[in-house]
């Protein structure tokens, strides 16, 4: 296999979402995080491949389609379009949308199955156990709630299964998996998830079935077409199929030639075992290198329960975006729920956070400063001697190190800390301008001081807008435009050259004499609605 050709590539994935229903804010959560990482990596000059898509096979989808009187394919097509349209509304810049019903995916799955078969890692045996169709997963009896529900889907009882299936020899990879987690602790984050998986592996891994009888909706097992390939076997390989260019022959060699191994899989903790145990073991069996890193984040909850399509307790992201805009939704979820932890949604907190952080602290600071620059300096960035500014200047000293801190935050997927660190600069800007009172300095004729104060505040707002741009690209665009730049954070073809991190994440980038636009509110205050409507 050709190793990854250059360090300059960064491939990442969201889960391929089940199409049992339209997406909800939970599906959006992982995708917004993935998009923020992808945008940050582009600013770092990387060529990025952001993969999202849909998992369309299996009993869960077949039953959903039957209940709606649609053919499974027709059903999948309808739901897929709602995912695509939500990603557009949320400004998600994905590069590949992988559908597991694509014919090229069938070729990849067949070839992969063949590798494992030739290795002797697949065999026929009897499968007995409790199956949760909503998870598409067998459950241990001890995991069940009231003896019949899986811990997540407490509205759909598990079903007893007793059938002959093909099995994958997971147990053979027990030691290799243990070694993986010992040698590469960063393979799975956060630490709490890694501990959970280590304890699961420590109990002893069992082989698992990778085919189903009496299920039409899926790919036939290549060696026995009466059986259908298990949805998760096929879904995980959707990440590999997505790596093919549209004009490439669907072979494993082609798929793995450029972007493999994928750098980062972002998932929710519900699908942790599939990614942290089954996926590396399947890849080990196929003699393929493993992905760089998996991050299993927490759940958005409603009344303490995971929001989900199967439970039906979801929040409609389309309604949220229509009412408040995509930046607001992206900022709120990434800032207010620590990535890795669970968090409940609260509409009042949503409105208050956005008004406080983006409308007041950031937006007003820019607005009032711009007004003064228009009044005192004819709307041009005042010229200052940056080198002469004291090293302990509160904005300069913080601004000089912020780019590094924030880059570390994006690498660590610490979105909440990133927002806090940027907000600290903005709040320091507000405090500084109030203390310095440039309007009084102007009256006293201290023009050099006025210039220095206004420049350092504008530069702080610029830096904040730049560093926030992976999370709030439209707000950052508006701020940059008011500061006189004609650069588009949403143009991923030019961003690498027009807005490189190594330059724009520094302090002192705003060019003297640059003409500023007329001040306009960059983030309108939100009103608390009585209800959310689509």
Interaxial angle between packed helices 72-89 and 317-324, expressed in degrees from 0 to 180 and rounded to the nearest 10 = 30
| Residue of 72, 250, 308, 403 interacting with ligand ATP (CB under 6 A) | 308
| 336 near ligand ATP, judged by CB under 6 A | no
Pull the structure tokens for residue 283.
Answer: 């890849």
Minimum Å distance from CB 42 to ligand ATP? 22
Minimum Å distance from CB 192 to ligand ATP? 15
- Whether the CB-CB separation of 458 and 492 falls below 8 Å is answered with no
Pull the structure tokens for residue 282.
Answer: 């399947």
Question: Site residues for ligand ATP, window 169-208 (CB under 6 A)?
Answer: none
- The residue among 39 and 309 lying less far from ligand ATP, judged by its C-beta, is 309
| Residue of 10, 11, 12, 18 interacting with ligand ATP (CB under 6 A) | 18
| 309 near ligand ATP, judged by CB under 6 A | yes
Q: How does DSSP assign 415-479, residue by residue?
A: HHHHHHHHHHHHHHHHHHHHHH-HHHHHHTT-HHHHHHHHHHHHHHHHHHHHHHTTT-HHHHHHH
Check residue 22 and report its DSSP letter.
-
Intra-chain end-to-end CA distance of the chain, in Å: 49
Nearest-angstrom CA–CA distance, 114 and 414: 40
- Whether the CB-CB separation of 219 and 100 falls below 8 Å is answered with no
Minimum Å distance from CB 353 to ligand ATP? 19
- The residue among 32 and 419 lying less far from ligand ATP, judged by its C-beta, is 32
- Residue nearest ligand ATP (C-beta atom): 26
| Residue of 10, 22, 26, 235 interacting with ligand ATP (CB under 6 A) | 26
Q: Which stretch binds ligand ATP (CB under 6 A): 3-11, 94-102, 309-317, 357-365?
A: 309-317
- The residue among 15 and 438 lying less far from ligand ATP, judged by its C-beta, is 15
Q: Which stretch binds ligand ATP (CB under 6 A): 27-35, 240-248, 451-459, 462-470?
A: 27-35
CB neighbours of 140 closer than 8 A, spacing ≥ 6? none
Question: x/- string (CB under 6 A) for ligand ATP, residues 266-305?
Answer: -xx-xx---------------------------xx-----
* CB atoms closer than 10 angstroms to residue 322: 14
Question: Site residues for ligand ATP, window 369-428 (CB under 6 A)?
Answer: none
3-state secondary structure 235-281: HHHHHHHCCCCCCCCCCHHHHCCCCCCCCEEEEEHHHHHHHHHHHHH
* Count of residues of this chain found to bind ligand ATP when the rule CB under 6 A is applied: 22
| 27 near ligand ATP, judged by CB under 6 A | yes
Minimum Å distance from CB 333 to ligand ATP? 9
Q: How does DSSP assign 294-344, residue by residue?
A: EEEE--EEETTEEP-TTTT----HHHHHHHH-HHHHHHHHHHHS-BTB-EE
Using DSSP, state whether 60 is helix, strand or coil. Answer: helix
Q: Strand 188-189 and strand 293-297: pairing?
A: parallel
| 149 near ligand ATP, judged by CB under 6 A | no
Q: Which stretch binds ligand ATP (CB under 6 A): 17-25, 101-109, 156-164, 178-186?
A: 17-25
- The residue among 307 and 318 lying less far from ligand ATP, judged by its C-beta, is 307
- The residue among 150 and 406 lying less far from ligand ATP, judged by its C-beta, is 150
Check residue 209 and report its DSSP letter.
E
- The residue among 304 and 445 lying less far from ligand ATP, judged by its C-beta, is 304
- The residue among 188 and 406 lying less far from ligand ATP, judged by its C-beta, is 188
Question: x/- string (CB under 6 A) for ligand ATP, residues 107-136?
Answer: ---------------------------x--
Minimum Å distance from CB 137 to ligand ATP? 10
Pull the structure tokens for residue 173.
Answer: 């990879």
| 306 near ligand ATP, judged by CB under 6 A | yes
Sites of contact with ligand ATP (CB under 6 A): 15, 17-18, 20, 24, 26-27, 29-30, 134, 267-268, 270-271, 299-300, 306-311
């Amino acid at each position: 296999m050709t190793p990854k050709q250059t360090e300059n590539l960064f491939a990442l994935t969201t889960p391929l979402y089940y199409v049992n229903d339209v997406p909800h804010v939970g599906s959006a959560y992982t995708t917004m995080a993935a998009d923020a990482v992808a945008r940050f990596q582009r600013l770092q000059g990387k060529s990025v491949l952001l993969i999202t898509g849909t998992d369309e096979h299996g009993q869960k989808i077949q039953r959903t389609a039957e209940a709606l009187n649609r053919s499974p394919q027709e059903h999948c097509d309808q739901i897929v379009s709602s995912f695509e349209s939500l990603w557009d509304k949320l400004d998600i810049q994905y590069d590949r949308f992988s559908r597991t019903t694509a014919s090229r995916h069938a070729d990849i799955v067949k070839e992969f199955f063949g590798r494992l078969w030739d290795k002797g890692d697949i065999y026929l045996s009897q499968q007995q156990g409790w199956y949760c169709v909503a998870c598409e997963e067998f459950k241990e009896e001890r995991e069940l709630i009231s003896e019949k529900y899986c811990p997540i889907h407490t509205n759909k009882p598990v079903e007893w299964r007793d059938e002959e299936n093909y099995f994958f020899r997971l147990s053979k990879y027990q030691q290799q998996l243990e070694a993986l987690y010992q040698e590469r602790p960063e393979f799975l984050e956060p630490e709490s998830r890694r501990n959970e998986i280590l304890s699961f592996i420590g109990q002893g891994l069992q082989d698992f079935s990778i085919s189903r009888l009496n299920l039409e909706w899926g790919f036939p097992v290549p060696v026995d077409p009466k059986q259908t390939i298990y949805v998760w076997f096929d879904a995980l390989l959707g990440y590999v199929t997505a790596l093919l260019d549209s004009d490439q022959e669907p072979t494993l060699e082609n798929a793995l030639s450029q972007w493999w191994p994928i750098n980062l899989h972002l998932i929710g903790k519900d699908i942790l075992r599939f990614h942290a145990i089954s996926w590396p073991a399947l890849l080990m069996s196929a003699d393929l290198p493993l992905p760089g890193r998996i991050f299993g984040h927490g759940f958005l909850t409603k009344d303490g329960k995971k929001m989900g399509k199967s439970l039906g307790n979801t929040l409609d992201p389309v309604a949220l975006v229509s009412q408040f805009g995509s930046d607001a939704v992206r900022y709120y979820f990434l800032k207010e729920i620590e990535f890795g932890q669970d968090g409940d949604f609260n509409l009042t907190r949503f409105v208050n956070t956005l008004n406080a952080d983006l409308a007041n602290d950031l937006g007003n600071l820019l607005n009032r400063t711009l007004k003064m620059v228009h009044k005192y300096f004819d709307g041009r960035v005042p010229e200052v001697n940056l080198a002469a500014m004291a090293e302990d200047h509160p904005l300069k000293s913080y601004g000089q190190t912020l780019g590094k801190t924030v880059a570390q935050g994006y690498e660590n997927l610490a979105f909440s800390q990133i927002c806090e660190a940027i907000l600290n600069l903005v709040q320091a800007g507000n405090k500084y301008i109030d203390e310095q009172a440039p309007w009084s300095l102007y009256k006293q004729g201290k023009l050099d001081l006025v210039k220095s104060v206004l420049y350092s505040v504008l530069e702080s707002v610029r830096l904040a807008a730049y560093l926030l741009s992976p999370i709030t690209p439209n707000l950052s665009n508006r701020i940059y435009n008011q500061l006189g730049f004609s650069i588009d954070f949403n143009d991923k073809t030019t961003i690498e050259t027009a807005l490189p991190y190594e330059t724009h994440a520094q302090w002192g980038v705003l060019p003297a004499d640059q003409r500023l636009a007329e001040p306009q509110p960059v983030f309108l205050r939100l009103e608390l609605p009585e209800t959310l409507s689509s």
